[in-house]
Amino acid sequence: MYLNPANLFVAGFIGRLRMNLLPVRHAAGAAVLEGNGFVLPLPASARRALDGHGDLMVGFRPETIEVHRHAAADRCQAAVDTVQFQGDRLICGMRLGAELIHVSLDAREQLAAGATVWLSVASEQLHLFDRANGRRLSGETSVVGKASKVVN
């Protein structure tokens, strides 16, 4: 259930930190998912599978996000809103466009509120749901990989 939630309800309640769930739109053949003030790049293999699904929810776990210090084509700009030290983890609230998301980082990372960073999530870590019925679109398996880190 944690790795491959069948629907939005399960995605939203399983885990120490809930999955980040954001409304997005996909235009047929587009290389990105468009959110409220942000875009997420899509691999070519996912583009055709999403044709016909306009209004979606994209989900990704807080520990699957990589934080970068520099911009790149496959990254989204974000602003660090809050940083909470929780023993072995930093839980950061970040603004991705108009959305607030949570990122879980190793506590040894150096990150401060007010910083501008760029985020990336591996395509296999993205979960896509039909916004109308809440069901997961793909039967593909996503595996939670390494814990998030700040990459210079």
Residue 41 located in a structural domain: yes
Full domain range(s) for residue 42: 8-138+147-151
Asked whether residue 86 is domain-assigned, the answer is: yes
Q: What is the mean pLDDT of residues 37-52?
A: 76
Mean pLDDT over all residues of the chain? 84
CATH of the domain at 131: 2.40.50.140
The 10s digit of each residue's pLDDT in 85-106 is: 998 999 999 999 999 999 999 9
On whether residue 1 sits in a domain, the answer given is no
Query: At 64, is the secondary structure helix, strand, or coil?
Result: helix
Residue 11 C-alpha from the chain's centroid: 12
Q: Which residues contact 91 (CB under 8 A, 6 or more apart)?
A: 17, 62, 83, 84, 102, 103, 104, 105
CA distances from 42 to 34, 74, 84, 133 (A): 10, 9, 31, 22
Would you say residue 123 lies in a domain?
yes
Structural domain total, the chain? 1
For the beta carbon of residue 36, count every other beta carbon within 10 angstroms. Answer: 12
Instruction: Identify the band that residue 150 occupies on the pLDDT scale cut at 50, 70 and 90.
Output: low
Task: Report pLDDT for 138.
Answer: 63
Residue 4: what pLDDT?
Answer: 81
pLDDT value at residue 144:
33
Torsion of CA 17, 79, 108, 65, to 10 degrees: 50
Quote the pTM value: 0.83
